[in-house]
Structure 1
Amino acid sequence: SWWANSQSSFNEIILTTPIKREDWKLAHHDLELRKELGRGAFGVVRLGILKKNTSVAVKESFEDSLELFKEGRIMKTLFHENIVNLIGITLDKAPILLVTEYCPKSPEVIQKKILSKKSDVWSFGVLCFEIFEGQEPYKDIPNQEAVTKLVNGQFLVFSKKKTPKDFVTNIVGHIFIDEKLRFTIQQILVGLKNLIKNTKKNTLKETKKV
């Protein structure tokens, strides 16, 4: 029949100009899912390993995969070094998975899986580390070892050569500590304003001496 004959001819068709899959279009077999990082009423986020070498965060919706896909399409247009960027979306089969960069979390988030304003302050401290040190935190050690260090109180250490001493004492020293003692973001803001004010005063004094 025509249908039977056409099938064999279709199978022999070869594209002379291959259509490359866009980098953000992922498949489930690209990912190895690890431990759960957190969950809410609408979904769950897990630690994942992308293509056997990159740690990522993998988000799955319990109900509406279409909304997750829409979220991914919006994130696809937003790229900046100071935000969590989209890596890709799985499109080969259900469920749709949203894959983003994996960012280190505070000890209480790791242990209790609860986000708070104080955990946001910790994230701000990680951002400060990346700015002053010019590198990712715990970049040379496996994820599980980094988690163990955090839970055991071995927090990020700022080098004296790269980070101003006053900043370490007045700001960093109040971030990477127990959640109950950690500064609020308002206290961090006050501390930063005081640092700027004192720096201006000292600069003015040095200028007058010259």
Structure 2
Amino acid sequence: MIYPPVDVERFNFCGDKDNYYLTASRLVPYKRIDLIVEAFSKMPDKRLVVIGDGSEMDKIKSKAGKNIEILGYQPNNVMEDYMKKAKAFVFAAEEDFGITPVEAQACGTPVIAFGKGGVLETIRPLGSTRATGLFFNEQKVESLITAVTEFEQEANEFDPESCRENALRFSNERFTREIEDFINQKWKLFSDSKHIEY
């Protein structure tokens, strides 16, 4: 398996975190930003920042409590600044890979993610060596609230440097090296046998 490249070097590491959670995404149904906003609306003592724009903007605004700041679209440098200072990045979508959780880890920010899809390979879960995040098992408000509560209880288990180190596994350089190795291997097989084996 060759994972897609993530430009992790673009993201600045920050070990000092502010007291807010972040989610950043296109505001479309499958990203489940509505779920995140609804859950945080039920946790008024926890601040959430939402970055992104899309067809669900009105729906998300209607669900947002006073503890939720919806910034809409922001340029990369603004998003990166929020990402590196967040206490955690919240990700509720099921995706094949999911680049933003890796970008968050590149900043030293742990991730609270729906435990399906690519995040199972890009996040070291709570309980593992050098954990970089934790999972919630259902795309339901109660499940996410439980995960946020657990994150706060176990916050000392997440080391920003471990997050950064984990993200580097998905760097552009790694991708280039693995693609070149794959091509060279297939070329050698082809050269030796005059056909390619898959």
The answer to whether TM tops 0.5 is no
Structure with the largest fraction of helix = 2
The alignment's TM-score, normalised by the length of structure 1, stands at 0.30
Structure with the largest fraction of strand = 1
